[in-house]
Amino acid sequence: MLRAMTNASRFDRGHTDELLTFLTESPTPYHAVATAARLLEKAGFRQVEETAAWEGGTGGRYVLRGGALIAWYVPEGAGAAAPFRIVGAHTDSPNLRVKPVPDTGANGWRQIAVEIYGGTLLNTWLDRDLGLAGRLSLRDGTTRLVNVDRPLLRVPQLAIHLDRQVNDGLKLDRQRHMTPVWGLGSPREGDLLDFLAGECGAGVSAADITGWDLMTHSVEPPAYLGRERELVAGPRMDNLLSVHAGAAALAAAAGRTDLAHVPVLAAFDHEENGSQSDTGADGPLLGTVLERSVFARGGSYEDRARAWAGTVCLSSDTGHAVHPNYAERHEPGHHPMPNGGPILKANVNQRYATDGTGRAVFAAACERADVPWQHFVSNNGMPCGTTIGPITAARHGIATVDIGVAILSMHSARELCGADDPFLLANALAAFLAG
């Protein structure tokens, strides 16, 4: 997955090609963790069930829960008190999600009722061909992933002839204006479930579907952009770019015999709405998995405390590249650029968890990987965003550093980053996990 970086061939577009495939195959958090798990399995990782007793021993393991994945690699000779090196990321992105009673419509149009998830740039979902994907819960207790990756839905914008002031400022009512159409005629209860049962193929009927977690996605594939193809445009780079880089870095760590710590990938769901869920960073999942790993290796509570004290987490999420048309919104002395390498994110009010010690850890990893890096800090006159870094630090008492890749159009249905930055990030993460 992760090709060694050399001075002769520094920017490996093969990694970015793999990212584009990962984005396409991961329209939802549930698909993202399944895709990441397949990548890790190629490196020898195996799934363990949370309900089973865990054995000690070396090797790579992972846990799946909903749209979250925790994976770790126990090297030869790792004692129960071995510290962890964690790459943290999140699998969810702002989008439109299907309501519990989905079938609706008006004035001869069949529509699907949706709810707004996260801090979505609403206008980017207008007049865009949308697919539908997610997780179906079946009557027998199993789940089934579904992905309708073709034009199925569309949120049509009002024509300029009917809103002459639209270019003076578009105002969208989240309830009235964001309902997508998917056909003509009168809405009928059960329409969507009938359709999805057909998409699942033989063996699944609408009556079998008793629950669902469904969301829309743009069917336009990710692509290289620009005169020199130096940019990448695509969906869900916030934050599947980091999930993919983290999986590549962890796979690269598997098999190493010189590790004095346990490398980990923690990919959480629900970051975009606060992380407070059983699969979010503010839930107990990470702590429970790490603790069970210590105990499975014969450790005690004392070993657990020692392991935590030596643990470091790089929380990898996207950040803002300087916008050429809105440069005044950025901090004048900190203008991260695409293809300038990963960014170190800092905020003294703890919207990011980075401190001087964390900066040194990140700088050392980038130096070992021969990767350039940049600073990010918000303009004092603008509110600063946040991510899973401060949550991880506060919940688990783990030293945490917030980093990422600089992008434009964050929270759009289609975002933009430098084509070299995914590979640079993955190499920095690999160097960090290698210690």
Spatial CA neighbour of 320 closest among 340, 304, 300, 302: 340
Same domain, 267 and 278: yes
How many Cβ atoms sit within 10 Å of the Cβ of residue 336?
27
Q: How confident is the model at residue 255 (pLDDT cuts 50, 70, 90)?
A: confident
Q: What is the full DSSP assignment across 62-115?
A: EEEETTEEEEEEE-TT--TT--EEEEEEE----EEEEEEEEEEEETTEEEEEEE
Quick: pLDDT tens for 280-289: 999 999 999 9
379's CB contacts (< 8 A; 6+ apart) are: 329, 330, 331, 332
Q: Looking at the predicted structure, is the pLDDT value of residue 4 above 60?
A: no
Say if residue 276 is in the same domain as residue 382. Answer: yes
Looking at residue 5, what is its pLDDT?
Answer: 44
Given a contact cutoff of 8 angstroms between Cβ atoms, the answer to whether 84 and 72 are in contact is: yes
User: What is the domain-level CATH number for residue 49?
Assistant: 3.40.630.10
pLDDT band at 52 (very low <50, low <70, confident <90, very high): very high
pLDDT number for residue 115: 98
Residue 203 has pLDDT above 90, yes or no: no
Sign of CA dihedral 168, 169, 170, 171: negative
- Is position 40 within any domain? yes
In a shared domain, residues 148 and 105: yes
Say if 226 falls within a structural domain.
no
Name every residue whose Cβ is closer than 8 Å to that of residue 224 and which is 6 or more positions away in sequence.
Answer: 231, 232, 419
Do the domain assignments include residue 223? Answer: no
Domain boundary among 169, 184, 218: 218
- Residue 195 falls inside a structural domain: yes
**pLDDT for res 256:** 85
Could you tell me the pLDDT band of residue 337, with boundaries at 50, 70 and 90? very high
pLDDT of residue 19: 97
Decide if 125 is inside a domain.
Answer: yes
We report the CATH number of the domain holding residue 170 as 2.30.250.10
Q: 350 and 276 in one domain?
A: yes
Span 401-423, mean pLDDT? 97
For residue 357, give the 3-state DSSP assignment: helix
Q: What is the average pLDDT score of the chain?
A: 95
* Statement to judge: residues 182 and 242 lie in one domain: no
Instruction: Decide: helix, strand or coil at residue 225.
Output: strand
pLDDT greater than 50 at residue 22: yes
In this prediction, residue 6 carries a pLDDT of 39
User: Is residue 169 located within the same domain as residue 63?
Assistant: no
* Domain final residue pick, 218, 243, 260: 218
Sign of CA dihedral 148, 150, 153, 155: positive
377-388 pLDDT tens trace: 999 999 999 999
| For the chain, percent of residues with pLDDT exceeding 90 | 94
Contacts of 114 (CB under 8 A, 6+ apart): 96, 97, 98, 99, 178, 179, 180, 216
Please give the average per-residue pLDDT across 229-256, as a whole number.
Answer: 96
Residue-level pLDDT at 202: 77
380 with 287, same domain: the answer is: yes
pLDDT at 1 over 80: no
266 and 393 inside one domain: yes
Residue 112 forms part of a structural domain:
yes
In a domain, 1, yes or no: no
Q: 2 pLDDT exceeds 60?
A: no
Shared domain for 113 and 85, answered yes or no, is no
Whether pLDDT at 41 is above 90: yes
pLDDT value, residue 11: 57
Residues with Cβ within 8 Å of residue 70, at least 6 apart in sequence = 62, 63, 264, 265, 266, 267, 285, 286, 289
Residue 295 has pLDDT above 80, yes or no: yes
Q: How many domains does the chain have?
A: 2
Would the pLDDT of 201 be above 50? yes
Is residue 328 assigned to a domain? yes
344-377 pLDDT per residue, tens: 999 999 999 999 999 999 999 999 999 999 999 9
Q: How confident is the model at residue 77 (pLDDT cuts 50, 70, 90)?
A: confident
Q: Identify how many contiguous H helices and E strands the chain contains and give both numbers.
A: 9, 20
Identify the domain containing residue 49 by its residue range: 13-93+235-434
pLDDT classification of 290: cutoffs 50, 70, 90: very high
Contacts of 244 (CB under 8 A, 6+ apart): 18, 19, 22, 23, 36, 422, 426
| pLDDT tier at 435, thresholds 50, 70, 90 | confident
How far is it, in rounded angstroms, from Cα 409 to Cα 319?
10
281 and 389 both lie in a single domain: yes
Residue 173: the pLDDT is 96
Q: What is the pLDDT of residues 184-194, one digit of tens each?
A: 999 999 999 99
Q: Are residues 99 and 201 in the same domain?
A: yes
Say if residue 264 is in the same domain as residue 285: yes
